[in-house]
Amino acid sequence: MTTENDTREPGSDFIRDIVQEDLAQGRHKTVVTRFPPEPNGFLHIGHAKSICLNFGIAQEFGGRCHLRMDDTNPTKEEQLYIDAIQKDVQWLGFDWGTHFHHASDYFEQLYGWAEGLIKAGKAYVDDQSPDEMRATRGTLTEPGKNSPFRDRTVDENLDLFRRMRAGEFPNGARVLRTKIDMSSGNINMRDPVLYRILHSTHPRTGDTWKIYPSYDYAHGQSDAIEGITHSICTLEFADHRPLYEWFLANLPVPAQPRQYEFARLNINGMILSKRVLTQLVRDKHVSAWDDPRMPTIAGLRRRGVPPEALRDFVKRIGVAKANSIVGADILEFSIREVLNKNSPRRMAVLRPLKVVIENYPEGQTEEMDAVNHPDDAAAGTRKVRFGRELWIEHDDFMENPPKKFFRLSPGTEVRLRYAYFLSCKSVVKNDKGEVVELRCTYDPQTKGGNTPPDGRKVKATLHWVSAADALKAEVRLYEPLFMSEAPDAGNFAADLNPKSLEVITDARLEPALAGDQTAVQFERLGYFCPDTDSKPGALVFNRTVGLRDTFAKEVKGGGKK
């Protein structure tokens, strides 16, 4: 992993340097940041980076961070998303206190300031169609052309703007534009739009407004109203900064926030764009916004990713000024770090193969001591029942093994974890010639899995579940949603991985898993958590992540096996 952060003190980055300096120089008494999502979809892991940065800075420097809904486009925004955003930010471990705000809280104030701009000759109502406006905007190398409506009188502009507000005109008939400079080298400064007509019901203001402020106009002024000191956003807004500053200089705003840009998070194999995520849900390529294959915070939560892991990941990748793509293996590393520490160990068999131990007395059972966590003695032990009939993993047996296969095959001996040495004597097959049962023997002198007096060694230790009291469960295994490492947001449907979800309906679990509502490690298989579909008697588990770093290899190979 190489990031700009490698050469720095832990927890420090260029934005924190600026905040520290501003506080040291007395430019601000306290730091105030904000996280400003538009409630038009669920948050994704890219937003988690912004949340951790904004709320993290406020925490570290004793300031505060606002959660602000940037709700200026009622055609795409819904209460459902507002609720989901609040839940996700809280789950990540952050608290906005009393500072839950909406850009729509400021609609009246923003409207008043817009009238002020008209009166100062700095804004005008433009009757050009959206196409005409596009055609006269110019290009990166050519200046734009002034609108024929640019020189309307203040009175005419005020009259039209008030009638826009009153709902007299249809969508798209007119806009209010700033009068800045149609020949500016920065296209954002070529008379940008302040208000557009939208006859659409807003989730909060209902049908009060027929006109809505543009992002650029609403955003910076909301920052100023709330007394934001450091307005942190992603790099694509760097070209908007002159406009951000123009508004602050030309309006009677109560504060002068400053905008800083950092590189957005990109992760290989993932698409972090609300537009694409919305399409995945709408076109049913995934089950919902919280499908465990989604890079949404809700999806990661359902998959079993702990919030500490996301915070650790964000810290690890750092905050840079240049865009880059982060390896998904870094995310997996953070997830494993946390899960390894906190997950009790359990035994589960995903693809069960029956073992019958011929020399173990019928009807007899024993309670074996199983360790809950190998690195944490305080986690204690639990009893697992052993008996004559067991389930082992089908993959742990081969009838005709290649040279390097050290697990079970006819004539070989392995250790059953926490139990006994086991030898396979013969196999039972069905009509199709498939192995459906193993006839085995055990060595009573190896209780607890210990080496027998003759010092015999085995090369493999297998997990198992007692057939008499195993629980049946559904287990869902996940692979990347897209096949390529750099999926194309413009043509993502062609890149969907048909093997991204594997549902195993016949897994067998040790009985302790009936009550586990937390993340667990299934020994040798990975980290798992109960899915929200799981019910007593109908258990469903998700694999959060495997035990080792296989992600990168799987993606390169175009999906596993």
To ligand ATP, the closest distance from the beta carbon of 35 in angstroms equals: 6
Q: What is the DSSP string of 365-434?
A: EEEEEEES-TT-GGG-EEEEEEESEEEEEGGGB-SS--TT--SB-TT-EEEETTS-EEEEEEEEE-TTS-
Q: What is the DSSP string of 505-523?
A: EEEEE-GGGGS--S-EEET
Per CB under 6 A, 47 contacts ligand ATP = yes
Three-class DSSP category at 241: helix
* Strand partners of residue 233: 261
17-36: which residues touch ligand ATP (CB under 6 A)? 36
Q: How many residues bind ligand ATP (CB under 6 A)?
A: 16
Of 437, 419, 420, 439, give the one whose Cα is nearest residue 429.
Answer: 437
Between 1 and 166, CB nearer to ligand ATP: 1
Smallest distance, ligand ATP to C-beta of residue 99, A: 16
> Which part of the chain contacts ligand ATP (CB under 6 A), choosing from 91-99, 269-277, 398-406, 549-557?
269-277
**393 C-beta neighbours (distance < 10 Å), count:** 21
> At its nearest, how many Å lie between ligand ATP and the CB of residue 549?
23
Single residue of 13, 15, 33, 49 touching ligand ATP by CB under 6 A: 49
- DSSP lists the bridge partners of residue 423 as 413, 441
The footprint of ligand ATP on residues 53-82 (CB under 6 A) is 70
Indicate if the alpha-carbon torsion angle 352, 358, 362, 366 is positive or negative. Answer: negative
- For the bound state, the minimum distance from the C-beta of residue 232 to ligand ATP, rounded and expressed in Å, comes to 7
Active site residue 174: no
Using CB under 6 A as the binding rule, the residues of this chain from 273 to 292 that contact ligand ATP are 273-275
Residues 206-245 as x/- pattern, contact with ligand ATP by CB under 6 A = ---------------------------xx-----------
Check: CB of residue 489 under 8 Å from CB of residue 323. no
Least CB distance from residue 50 to ligand ATP, whole Å?
Answer: 4
DSSP code per residue over 145-199: ---TTTT--HHHHHHHHHHHHHT-S-TTS-EEEE-S-TT-SSGGGSS-EEEEE--
Q: Measured on CA atoms in the order 498, 500, 504, 505, is the torsion positive or negative?
A: negative
Q: Is 485 a catalytic site residue?
A: no
Q: Which of 16, 34, 274, 415 is catalytic?
A: 274
Among 264, 285, 425, 439, binds ligand ATP (CB under 6 A): 264
Least Å from the CB of residue 446 to ligand ATP:
54
State yes or no: is 274 an active-site residue.
yes
CA distance 316 to 330: 8
**Which residue from 16, 46, 125, 196 is in contact with ligand ATP, where contact means CB under 6 A?**
46
Radius of gyration for the chain, computed over Cα atoms and rounded to the nearest angstrom: 31
- Residue ranges that bind ligand ATP, judged by CB under 6 A: 36-38, 46-47, 49-50, 70, 233-234, 264-265, 272-275
Catalytic residues: 38, 264, 274
